[in-house]
Homo-oligomer: A and B are copies of this chain.
Amino acid sequence: MKLVESAKLLKVLDGAVQSPPPIWLMRQAGRYLPEYRASRAKAGSFWTMCMTPELAAEVTLQPIRRFGFDAAILFSDILVVPFALGRDVKFEDGEGPSLVPLDSADGLDCDPGAWKKKLAPVYDALTLVRATLDRNTALLGFAGAPWTLATYMAAGKGSSDQRAAKLWGYRDPQSFQALLDVLGDCIAAHLIAQIDAGADAVQVFDSWASGLPARAFDDWVITPTKRVVEKVRAVHPKARIIGFPRAATLQGYEQFTADTGVDAVSIDTAAPISWAVDRLGKKVAVQGNLDPLVLLAGGRALAEAVDDLLTATRGTRFIFNLGHGVVPEIPVEHVAELVARVRVGH
């Protein structure tokens, strides 16, 4: 028998409405926090923080201590999966990550025995956090989705139009499918290992799901995500999974909701919240979608935007979040105001 969870976020994922809604923010452990910047300076590099359990656990917990968010999300990076697959991943300050571009899936090794050892620090960090964290706070693991990881692996870096991955997919659909498949296998294994290590739920980030023609969205976002969800549920039938096909079309979000099997869909800033509650909220919990830049702006615009979201989502399964990650320039005072307003304003 499943215990009734005490964390609000898990209750929402399990089917309950919570008022006020649980709140956490994408990239809540990050450079906008002075204590994060101090940890980062001490660690010396982003990658060292990701790969040292005590450091990753520490920065994961920092925003919880300061703001009492309803969820902690493990401090890590979506590129740990390509790293575990043997790709050389570099994080240079101010440059974004880079890896050697790839044009074939041949030789990519998804032997869990070998590569899970490389990611042991990630799982150890989760176990450390779970041991410290109050049961009222959910612990989230995460991974990049196959399509988004493919865009990084094909281009060797983030790109605004996903050109390298699209060209690969358009010119050689079979070989690109092979890449998505091996990535899906590893992503599923990585999510399973995170749940084993203590994650209460996981989020799958498809950060580059925008700009895809309908046929490509089907083949590269919907189908691979569904496959990952099925593989995770084959091991953990009750695994809680949040999907974030960022800036999909509204029809894309509906299809994602109907077809992939996720428990919640995180929506970007432009997706109208009343539409989301109406069209997605009957099947899944909705997460989102405050503009990070309204959080940066603060003041009346922030108050108004928060109230709009709370009003539109009242009585629904909703998780308060941003439509995208926290940007480093956001004042911590604005985040404190946001959390306070969500908690009293509902």
Interface residues of A (CB under 8 A from B): 160-161, 163, 166-167, 170-171, 173, 210-217, 247-252, 268-273, 275, 289, 291, 293-294, 296-297, 299, 301-302, 304-305, 308, 323
Residues of B within 8 A of A272 (CB): 214, 249, 251
Residues of B within 8 A of A160 (CB): 160
Residues of B within 8 A of A305 (CB): 213, 215
Smallest Cβ distance from A164 to chain B, in angstroms?
10
Bound-state Cα–Cα, A217 to B250, Å: 15
Complex contact A293–B163 (CB within 8 A): yes
Smallest Cβ distance from A273 to chain B, in angstroms?
8
Known: A161-B293, A170-B297. A211 touches B251 (CB 8 A): no
> Which one of B247, B271, B275, B301 contacts A170 once the chains associate, using CB atoms below 8 Å?
B301
Known: A251-B250, A251-B272, A252-B270. A167 touches B293 (CB 8 A): yes
Bound-state Cα–Cα, A293 to B173, Å: 14
> Which one of B215, B248, B251, B269 contacts A275 once the chains associate, using CB atoms below 8 Å?
B251
Which 4 pairs across A and B sit closest by C-beta, in order of nearness? A170-B297, A170-B301, A250-B250, A214-B272
Offer 8 A-B interface pairs, CB within 8 angstroms, sorted by A: A160-B160, A163-B293, A167-B296, A170-B294, A170-B299, A171-B297, A211-B268, A211-B269
Smallest Cβ distance from A326 to chain B, in angstroms?
13
Complex contact B249–A167 (CB within 8 A): no
Complex contact B249–A250 (CB within 8 A): yes
Name which of A212, A249, A252 has the most chain B CB atoms within 10 A of its CB.
A249
Residues of B within 8 A of A275 (CB): 251
Residues of B within 8 A of A250 (CB): 249-251
Bound-state Cα–Cα, A293 to B272, Å: 29
Bound-state Cα–Cα, A243 to B170, Å: 29
Complex contact B297–A167 (CB within 8 A): yes
Bound-state Cα–Cα, A293 to B163, Å: 7
Complex contact A270–B212 (CB within 8 A): yes
Q: Which residue of B lies closest to A271 (CB)?
A: B249
Bound-state Cα–Cα, A160 to B250, Å: 21
Residues of B within 8 A of A293 (CB): 161, 163, 166-167, 170
Name which of A171, A304, A305 has the most chain B CB atoms within 10 A of its CB.
A171
Residues of B within 8 A of A294 (CB): 166, 170, 213
Residues of B within 8 A of A251 (CB): 250, 272, 275
Complex contact B166–A291 (CB within 8 A): yes
Residues of B within 8 A of A167 (CB): 293, 296-297
Smallest Cβ distance from A274 to chain B, in angstroms?
8
Bound-state Cα–Cα, A271 to B215, Å: 11
Smallest Cβ distance from A266 to chain B, in angstroms?
15
